A and B are shown apart, each in its own frame.
Chain A
Amino acid sequence: MNTRLLFLLLLVAGAQHRAYCQRELRGQVLDAHTDLPLAGASITLVAARQTVTTGTDGRFRLAPAPTDTVLVTYVGYAPQRLPVAALPGEATVRLVPKDGMLTEVLVNTGYQTLPKERATGSFTHIDGKLLDEVVAPTLLEKLEGITNGLQFDRRNMLSEAPADGATGRIRIRGVSTMQSSEEALVILDNFPYEGDLDAINPNDVASITVLRDAAAASIWGARAGNGVIVITTKRGARQAAPQLTMTSNLTIGDRPDLYADRSRLPSATLMEIEADLFANRRYQEFDQTPIPAYAELLIKKRDGLISEADFEAAKARFAQSDIREEALRHLYRPSASQQYAAQVLGGGTNQTYYLSAGYDRNARITIGDRDDRLTLLARHTFQAGRKLEIGTGIRYAGQTIHHDGIPLQALTRLSTYNALTEPDGAPAAVVYDYRLAYQQRAEGLGLLDWQYRPLEERDLVSFAERRGDLQLDGSAVYKPIAGLDITASYQYVQGAYDQNRFADAASYRARNLVNRFTQADGTRIVPEGAIRETPLVSESRAHSGRIVASYARNWAARWELSALGGAEIRQHRETGHPGFTLYGFNPDTYTGTNVLDYATPYNTRPVGTARIPSHFNSIGERTTRFLSYFGNAALAFDRRFTVSASLRWDASNLFGVKTNQKGVPLWSVGGAWQATDAFRFRATYGRSGNVNHGVSVYPTIGYGTGSYTQAPYAYLTSAGNPSLRWETVSTANLGMDFSLLAGRIAGSVEYFSKFASDLIGEDRLDPASGIVSISVPQVTNLVNYASLRTEGADIQLNTRNLSGKLGWQTGWLFSYTRNRVKRFNTAQVLNAESLLTANGIPQPGRPLDALYAFPWNGLDPETGRTLIYHADGSRATDYRQWLRDFPHTALVEAGVTAPPFAGSMRNTLDYAGLQLSATVTFKAGHVFRRTSMLPGGISSFIHTYHSDYLIRWQQPGDERRTVVPSMLPYGAPATANQEDRVFRASEALVTKGDHIRLQDVRLGYTLPRAVSSRIGARSIQAYGYLRNPGLLWRANDQGIDPDFASASYPAPLTTSFGLQIEF
C-alpha cells in the first residue's frame, strides 16, 4: 500500500476522531490518606498512548476519547485504572499508598517540585512527619541526626546556652570556603530567607529539602556554594474537606551541670592560692582593682581591721561554701518550653486555603531569661478562570526575648567560695567592677550606695529584644497552553528589631553611672534616677520578584521534557538607627531627660576621665541587590534515562564592576540511569558560588563624628578591589540509589568532590605599606586567590526489618568528608605561632581544619617543667628562644578539628498505635585542644584557674601520672611564663573527639480510631520525648563532652510531652 496514502487516511481519521469524540477531562490526584495533592503523577490514556503529569497542585487536564481508559500511576502508590466514561468532567483520583512501598519523595528546589526519581542531583528530603517527631529548640536543630551530610559545628561555642538554642554553625558536606560565610543558603517558600530561623513556626513546615550538589544547587547560583536548605510550608488542597490540627507540647530541661566547668577550683584550694598570691604581693590595692573576697580578708587582717577570731570564722565559712550550689538554687532553674499550634487547611473547587497560628513560651534555664513567639500564617490560592491561578500569603512572626538572667559566667570576679546571699537570705553584695572595700566606702564619701548585689540587680534591670517579621507574597500562574506555565511572583519581607533596657533608680547599673560621674565637689553629672535605654533599633526590607516560564511535555509516552527559564530581581536593605537613653526616667509618666553634655570629658571615680556614654551618631544602611537569569531543562526517555542541565547568571552590587560586566555564568549538567528496578545511577557536575558580604569593591572610607572635635571625620575601611567576584565551588557527584526486596532495603550511596576556587582571603602586606594588623577599624585587603578541595561520601540506608503487627524500621546515615587546601598565598611570614592560633594560616596540601601542636616530651622528673629539645637533640631551657627558633615545619599535625566521620542510627518500632524511636549519633576521627592549667597562669596579671591544678606535677614521680606541669614559682623570671605557650599548644592537650551519643528517645501513641472518633477527631496522638540523654561512649578520659568542649556546660537533658489532635 502506498504509505503516503495510509498516512493521510490515519490523519483524517484522527482529525475526525478529535472533531466530535473528544471532551475535556480535568482532575486532581490526591493521596487517599492525607488528601494532599500528588505532583508528578502520571495520567496515561491507554488506547491513545498519551501521558500527562500532574502539576504541583496535583491537577491535570486531558482530552480523552470516551472509550479510552485512564491509568493513574505514582511511585509508591497502587495504580488505578478508570474508564473515561465513568469519570465526571472534574475528577478527583485518590491514590492509596502501596503497602510496603516508600512514598515517593518530592523534592523542592525552590524553583520547581519534582519527584526524586526524576532528579539527577543530590537531595536530602525530610518530610513533615519526621520533622514533627523531633522536638528541638530550633527548626535547624531538628535536622541533626536525620539529615545526611549536614553537621553542626559547635567547636567555637563558648556560650553557656547550648540548651537555649545556640546551635553552632551548619556545614553541609564539609567546608567549601575559608573566610567567607560557611552558612548554607536558606530558601523559605521559594525565596531566599535572610531572617531569623527561629521566627518560623516548625508546625507550618511541610518539608525540608537539602540541596547538596551542583545540579541541585546551581540553580541558586552565586550563593549556593555552601549548599541550600529549602523550607516549604504547608498549603491547602483543592476539594478537600477542612482539616483542623491542634498540637501542644511541653518541654522541661534539667538545670545546667555547673560542675562540668573545668575552669573552677574548689574553695579551699582557691583560698590557698589567693593566700599565696597575697603573700607574694600580687594584688595591687587600688580602688579600681577588684580583689577577691578572701584576699580582702587577708588585707584586713594585715591592717588590723579584723580580729583573729572574726578572720578565722570568715575563713571557715568561705572554705565550706561553693557558689555553684547557690547558683543552682538562685541563678538557675529547670527550663520550661510550651508550644501551642493550630492549623486548618482545605479547599473548594476554585480555591485552597491554609491558616495557622502558633504560640511558644519559653522559661529559660537562667532565671530571668524568657521569651515568647507568636506566628501566624495564611495562604490562599484562587482559580481565576481556566488559565489563571492567583496565590497570596501573609506570614507574621513576633518574638520578645527577655535577658534579665545573670548566669554564673557573668560574675567573673566571684571566687568559688563567694556567697550570693547573706546568712539571713538577703541578697549579698559581691566584688564587681571595683575594689569591694572601695564600693563599701562609697556612701561615706557622699556617694550613692555602690554595692552590687546580683540577686537584687536581676529584679531591677531588664533587657529585652523584640523582633517582628511580616511577609507578604503573591503569585500568578498563567497557563496559556497545555504544559506551559508562566509564573510571576513577588515577595515582600519586613523585619523590625529593637532592644530595650530599663534600670531602676535602685539598680547598680543606674547607681554606678551616677557615682562614676559624681565630681569632687559632689556635683552629679548624670542625674539620679532610673535609666531607660534603647541601644539599637533596626529594620530590614526585602523585595523579591521573579518571573518563570516552565514547560513540560511528553511524547509518545516515552519522552518527557521539562524546562524552565526566568529572571529574578532582589533587594535587601537593612537600616540601623542610633538608639537613645533617657536619664532620670520616671516609669509612671515615661519621661526623663537626654539633654546632657556628652562631649565634655569628666573626671570619673575612682580614677580616670570619661564622657557620658552616648549612642552611635550615624544611621547604618546596607543594601544588597541581585539580578539573575536562569534556566534548566531535563529530558527523560522511557523513565530510564534522564539528562539535565542548568545555567545561571548573577550580578550583584556586592561584586566588582568588572565581574558584573564579564558575566561568567554558573552551570551544571547531570544524568541518571535507572539500570534495573532496584538500582539507579546518577552523575552530575557543575559550578555554584559563594559571596562575601564583608568585602568592598571600592576603596572606601567610612564617616563618623569625632568625639574630640564633634565634627565629621573619615576613616579608611578598604583598600578596594574592583575585580572582586564570588567564590566558585565546582562539585562532581556520583550516586547510586537502590531498593531491594520490595523496598525493605533501600538507600543511596554517593561520592562527591568539591573544588572551591577564587576563595577570598586576606593578602597581608608589609606593615610599612600602612595596611596594618592592629588598627581599629581594620583596613582590609581581600582578594580572590585561594583554593580548597573537599571530598567525601554520604551513605543512607533504610531497612524495614519487621513489618506486620510489630513494625521495626532502621535508618542509617553515614557521611565522610575530608579537605585539602590546594592554594593559599600569603605574604605573612610563617612561624609556628601563626599555625597554632585558632584560625591559623591554611597550609597548602594540609586540611583546612588541621590542628597543629608542639611535640610532647613529657615533664622534667626533677622540676615538673615541660621538656623541650633543640633540633640537635640537646635539652633546651629558654622557652622564649625555643619558641622563636621552632620551625613551623616541625609542628606535629595532630589531626583535624571537624569530624571527618559522622552518622546516626535511628530505630523505630511500632505496635498497635504505639511508636518507639531512638536516635544514636556518632562523630569520629577528629581531635580538639582541651583546656588545662597553665604553669604561669596564676601568677600572671589575670589570674586564671583550671581544675587541672589539682593534678599538676608536685613532686618527682608525678611525671608518670600527669602531663600538667608544676606551677611556676613566684618571682620566676617573667619570660619563664612562655612555657604556657609551649604547654597550651602541645600534643599533650590534643584530645580525641570521637564519641557516640544517644540523641533522643521518643515514645508516641496514636489512639485507636474508634476512640478518637468518639470526640469527632480523625486522629489523636500523644508522645513523650527525651533529648540529650547523654554520651554512650567517648574516646577521651577527661570526662569532656567533645561537642561542648569550649562551652561552660553541655546541653542539659530535656523531656517533652506533646499531644496532636486532627479533626
Chain B
Amino acid sequence: MTHLRLVLLSVTSFLAATTIVAGYLAVPDVMRIVLGLVLVLILPGFMLLWAILPEGRLSYDERLLASVGGSMAITICVAVSLAATPIGLSRTSLSVALGALTLALSVYNGFRTRVPHDT
C-alpha cells in the first residue's frame, strides 16, 4: 500500500465516521456543511471507484467526474430507499447510511490493497 493511498483511506474513513457522529451531535455549521457536501457529492463514488477499478485505469479528471457522478447516483438511490422504508429520510438516517457505506468501502479497499495478488 502506498503512503498516499494509506493517507486517502484514513482521511476518507475519518470523514465518514465524523459525518455519522455529526448526525447525532451539534457541530459547528461550517463543519457540518463541509462534511455534508463531501459526503454527498464525492466520498461514496470515490470509494466505490477505488473498490471496483484497479489504479491507473482512469485519468485524474475522469476519476473526479466518476466520483461526483457515482456519488450523486448513490446518494439518490440511498435517499429514495430510506424515504421509501419506514425508517424515513432524516439527517441521522442519511448520514449513517452514507457514512457507513463509505466506511465499509474504505475497509474493503484497505483489506484489498493489503492482499499481495491485488495490484
A binds B: no
- Which residues from chain B sit less than 8 Å from chain A, CB to CB? none
- Which residues from chain A sit less than 8 Å from chain B, CB to CB? none
